[in-house]
Amino acid sequence: MANPKRKKPKRKAMLLGVGLDSDGHKRVTTGPNFALVGGSEETHEVMTEKVIKINEKLAAKGKQLEQVSHEEFDDIAQSVGLTRPKPE
């Protein structure tokens, strides 16, 4: 039987960026709500800039990553230059 006093688990969200190109260096950058791994220097730098911009937009809205809907996140991601691949 379910315990009525039991709280719902707290929602968690994290951004994961994986750079698939390489220049021989291992790169890992983490923050409170993101982890970026791999990529060339340029790719890793671009991923870092995007995740910082996303977090700035979230802060401007007064929200945390786990508080936005999928649609709202998509809008934020598009505003910083990220796009979803189109289905074939």
pLDDT along the chain (88 residues), means of 10: 70 95 96 97 97 98 96 96 86
Q: What is the per-residue pLDDT for 8?
A: 74
Q: Residue 22: its pLDDT value, please?
A: 92
CB contact burial 31-70 (16+ within 10 A = b; e otherwise): eebbebebbbeebbebbbebbebbbebbeeeeeebeebee
pLDDT for the residue numbered 5: 73
pLDDT at 58: 98
| Residues constituting the chain | 88
* Per-domain residue ranges of the chain: 18-79
